[in-house]
Structure 1
Amino acid sequence: MSFSGENYPGVKSPTKDSAGFRLNHTMLRIKDPEKSLAFYTHVLGMTVLRRLDFEEMQFSLYFLTPLAAEHSVPDNKSDRTVWTFSQTGILELTHNWGTEDQEGFSYHDGNAQPQGFGHICISVPDLDAAIAWFDANEVTYVKRPEDGKMRDVAFIKDVDGYWIEIVEAGRLGNLGD
């Protein structure tokens, strides 16, 4: 029998009505796209797949992912938009125009009170190498992998203060119960 998920109170079996559903993207609001794009493309190695501008509502959406070599991304913008919305693990950065010029403007990071949204997570092939890279790029840490009770897990902050968990999957086999 194949794995069908862990079972807890409230868990119900999926039905054919939701067959094919999958998580496409998570959205974070950003103050300054130039700073955020530099962080996510340079520090975290993501590629911008598509930018969509909505002039009437004065905002832009940037869709990013760590692009694997085997991906065949369409060059045509319309085809690439369709391709982007058919993927999994996409990060959408939403920029409301003008926030970059507002002194003291910031979004709630989800971890200050009242808490809500917590973090996104990036899995890296080598945690030690990633930490050295973050140190070289003066990334702000919430928690280094050697700190606290959860060893081998780091939390960093992006330029807007959002938390990003950094893990190496091979180190997490004994995590939790």
Structure 2
Amino acid sequence: MSSTTSNPATYKFNHTMFRIKDPKVSIPFYEKVLGMEKFRESAGSDFTNYFLAFPAGFGDANLSTEEKTAKMFDREGILELCHNHGTEDDASFKGYASGNEEPGRGFGHIAVTVDDLDAACKRFDDMGVKFKKRPEEGRMRHIAFIYDPDGYWIEILANNRDVPHK
């Protein structure tokens, strides 16, 4: 056993990985719909990982792609999209389990805060984004859920919960 110590107070939640069917569909969704930026691509022999994050999380909007990659493990809130080559052209490929249906219920969703929930939902409507739940539906009127292209749920909520939802 090592004699060094590790301080959990320094730990950070760095990233979450989703398997995706087609990067030509998923990457534009996260960039155009949610405003993330792809800052790194890492190819393996039969897969490619794409790393996306909100640009403000890097602290400096003028960083190069290389500088962002160098800071990747020093920040939180990264989304890794893993594309297993060939799934995009496989007619028999049924997609990945989102974690919200059987079989494989377990993982639920990621969450993104927005400046104005109603305005964001209107923007998503205008972009043709599919909703799981709108703010006016159900008991929880202060959140929405949208689907990404692979069926993963994304919770949308206002970053200022003191602003009333209409």
Cα offset, 1:150, TM superposition? 0.5
Report if aligned partners of 2:53, 2:78 keep a CA contact under 8 Å in 1.
yes
Match of 1:27?
A: 17
Q: Cα deviations across residues 28-81 of structure 1 (Å, max 9, x unaligned)?
A: 1100001001100011111111111112xx11111111212842564363x443
Match of 1:10?
A: none
Paired AA for residue 84 in structure 2:
N
CA RMSD of aligned residues (A): 2.2
Which of residues 69, 75, 97 in structure 1 aligns to 2:85? 97
Q: State the 4+ residue runs in structure 1 displaced beyond 2 angstroms.
A: 15-19, 69-77, 79-82, 169-173
Report if aligned partners of 2:52, 2:79 keep a CA contact under 8 Å in 1.
yes
Cα offset, 1:152, TM superposition? 1.5
Q: Cα deviations across residues 139-168 of structure 1 (Å, max 9, x unaligned)?
A: 111100010011120000000000000000
Paired AA for residue 150 in structure 2:
D
Match of 2:72?
A: 84
- What is the TM-score when the length of structure 2 is the normalising length? 0.86
Cα offset, 1:87, TM superposition? 1.1
**Secondary structure of 2:38's aligned partner:** strand
State, as a whole percentage, how many aligned pairs show the same letter: 48
Which of residues 28, 31, 35 in structure 2 aligns to 1:38? 28
Match of 2:125?
A: 135
Match of 1:109?
A: 98
- Aligned partners of 1:144, 1:104: CA distance in 2, in Å? 32
**Secondary structure of 1:113's aligned partner:** coil
Corresponding position: 1:123 with 2:123 = no
Runs of 5+ unmatched residues, structure 2: none
- What is the TM-score when the length of structure 1 is the normalising length? 0.81
- Aligned partners of 2:6, 2:80: CA distance in 1, in Å? 28
